[in-house]
A and B are shown apart, each in its own frame.
Chain A
Amino acid sequence: MTAPALPDGLVAIVKRDCPTCRLVAPVLADLADGALPLTVYSQDDPTFPDDVKVVDDTDLEVSFALELETVPTLLLVGGGEIVARTEGWLRPEWEELTGRAPLGTDLPEYRPGCGSRTLDPDVAAARSDAAGAARLRARRIDLGEHEDDVEAAFERGWTDGLPVVPPTPERVARMLAGTTREPDDVVAVVPPDLVECSVEKVAINGVLAGCKPEYLPVVITAVEAACTDEFNIHGLLATTYFSSPVMIVNGPIAGAIGMNSGINVLGQGNRANATIGRALQLIVRNVGGGRPGGVDRATLGNPGKYTFCFAEDEAGSPWEPLHVERGLAPDASAVTLFAGDGVRGMVDQLSRTPESLARSLAGCLRAVPHPKMALGFDVIVVVSPEHGRVFREGGWSKARLRDELLALLQLDGVDVIRGAGGIAEGLPEGLAGATVPKFRDDALLLVHAGGGAGLFSAIIGGWINGPGGSQPVTREVSP
């Protein structure tokens, strides 16, 4: 910053809140009558000190320019340059600097000064926010004097039905501190309107969603992953089916930002889980323009369309984590997106061998999304710790469990063709004599998460799979 030109003569910077400044106020009044002109800047109250003409520095422009640490600070300025400087009250120094003696004879010899307001953490943060806010490019919306900011967000159509945090420039500037990326970097082109989404727009929607700045890299990665041809967020949004992005976070960032991978992992109550998933949904809504009843044609939808994001419990898992299985390093942080429809409960409280538990799982998986459909849908199985223990103790790797499930889920065509069992729905009649695999070979995503008590697992069914629908996408999170 360019330092403001200081007037020649004596310059003092004070604040009323400082006892030493109040102590030297009579001295300043004396100096004001002297030969050298005196300019006093006040950091907190332009009426202090009394009896002296004061320059208002409550915006701290001069104090910041001087990199002030202490008040009072007394300067001798000549030709615009600082010639001499003293801090606090030390009579001999004040006398030498001002050329006036004696000064403040009824004052103690020495009193240390107080911290300059520029060092107040709130002030420094607000100044940093203001500097950050000035760089932002999004359209600014001035609210009316009597307009409620939360209601304003509803009225403008920015919310998912729940209240949002009003995206003030200061909040957005703080959110952007969570990433090293520049605010105008383009993250992705967001369907359905195919709008370029900048880091700043991600941050604004992160604020709306209630994110903390340290969540921002995860949200940015999720937006990148969603807006790929493989994931196909456009089709996923537009479908009449239930599904919507399900986000699984792996690696060190999950713990670092306090994500939940334990009790109630798929439920409410954790800020990071809740707001990261919500931020992605709000970006599709606000930046991409995808709204229910507009391009979103879901017949029924599902509650995960507010937010559906959780972390894998890697430490307690019997298996390698999802991101490692999908090709990333164990110490990488990653987001995996899956087009999921919701949570189906799966109960087995009696199986103590992997063979038995795999059969239970297969029986429940057979119904995704209909017992007589096959190959069109992928699935996530969230294996809880108590179910995971059965596979660990039985020595089953993740690959083994997947292979066993696929083998158990070979359907006899005659049972699943159209009309079989008195049900019109089903596979084409031509498959009557065939054996049909329920799932594609890579259709089963196995994830370990949940609370330590409960012999349950969760099944999250997919949407149309493969290149013609949505494929799971895993992306590394970078700062």
Chain B
Amino acid sequence: MSTRVLLDPTGERKAPSRERAPRPASLDGRTVGLLDISKPRGDVFLDRLEEQLAGRDIQIRRFTKPTFSKPAPIDLRHEIGAKCDVVIEALAD
């Protein structure tokens, strides 16, 4: 029996490489999403950020993942992508 050929145990998948969206030079006139992943005290961090951004020419939208232990639902990801220019996600504890 040949042991010289092995079968690939992996998913044989190459992750598609995507270009990053261009980084905006400024947040002026942009919509910034603040994503709370439902970790404790993530809201504290995002509330403070919202205070910092208030009063500038920036629209803020808040989003929340149902649970931090699972990936964000696809609808939420699409909604954020459609409505926001930039998203800030709070990992917390």
A residues with a Cβ closer than 8 A to B are 126, 129, 136, 138-143, 149, 152-153, 158, 166-170, 172, 190, 193, 195, 197, 200-201, 204-205, 208, 229, 232, 234-236, 239, 282, 286-289, 464, 467-470
Contact = CB atoms under 8 A, between A and B. Distances in A.
Given A153-B6, A235-B70, A170 B13 contact: no
Given A232-B69, A468-B66, A141 B8 contact: yes
Nearest to B6: A141
Contacts of A197: 11
Nearest to A196: B11
Contact of A166 (B6, B11, B67): B6
Given A142-B4, A469-B67, A288 B9 contact: no
Nearest to B13: A195
Contacts of B66: 468
A462 to B, nearest CB: 12
Given A239-B69, A464-B69, A204 B5 contact: no
Given A195-B13, A239-B69, A470-B69, A139 B2 contact: no
A195 B5 CA distance: 24
14 contacts: A138-B7, A138-B12, A139-B8, A139-B12, A140-B6, A143-B4, A158-B9, A170-B2, A172-B7, A190-B11, A201-B11, A286-B9, A287-B10, A468-B67
Nearest to A145: B4
Contacts of A140: 5-8
Interface in B1-60: 1-13, 15, 38
A172 B15 CA distance: 26
Contacts of B6: 140-141, 143, 149, 152-153, 166-168
Nearest to A192: B71
Given A141-B5, A169-B5, A234 B10 contact: no
B48 to A, nearest CB: 21
A464 B69 CA distance: 8
In order of increasing CB-CB distance, the 5 nearest A-B pairs are A195-B11, A468-B67, A235-B69, A139-B8, A138-B7
Contacts of A190: 11
Interface size class of B (residues with CB under 8 A): 20 to 34
A201 B12 CA distance: 10
B5 A143 contact: yes
Given A149-B3, A172-B7, A195-B13, 7 more contacts: A141-B6, A141-B8, A143-B4, A193-B11, A232-B70, A236-B69, A468-B38
Contacts of B15: 193
B93 to A, nearest CB: 9
Nearest to B10: A286
Given A126-B1, A193-B13, A139 B7 contact: yes
Nearest to B2: A168
Given A232-B69, A234-B71, A287 B1 contact: no
A336 to B, nearest CB: 20
Interface string B58-81: 000000001101110000000000
A140 B8 CA distance: 6
B9 A166 contact: no
Mostly, the B contact residues are loop
A265 to B, nearest CB: 28
A169 B69 contact: no
B5 A468 contact: no
Contact of B10 (A158, A168, A170, A239): A158
B9 A169 contact: no
Contacts of B1: 126, 129, 168, 170
Contacts of A172: 7
A200 B1 CA distance: 20
Contact of A142 (B5, B10, B11): B5
Contacts of B8: 138-141, 204
Nearest to A158: B9
B3 A204 contact: no
Nearest to B15: A193
Contacts of A470: 69
A287 B11 CA distance: 4
A447 to B, nearest CB: 24
A236 B69 CA distance: 7
Contacts of A152: 6
B3 A205 contact: no
A168 B5 contact: yes
A287 B69 contact: no
Given A143-B4, A168-B3, A170-B1, A201 B70 contact: no
B7 A287 contact: no
B65 to A, nearest CB: 10
A168 B1 CA distance: 9
A361 to B, nearest CB: 28
Contacts of A205: 9
Nearest to B67: A468
A286 B11 CA distance: 7
B14 to A, nearest CB: 10
B41 to A, nearest CB: 12
B4 A167 contact: no
Contacts of B12: 138-139
Contacts of A143: 3-6
A434 B39 CA distance: 24
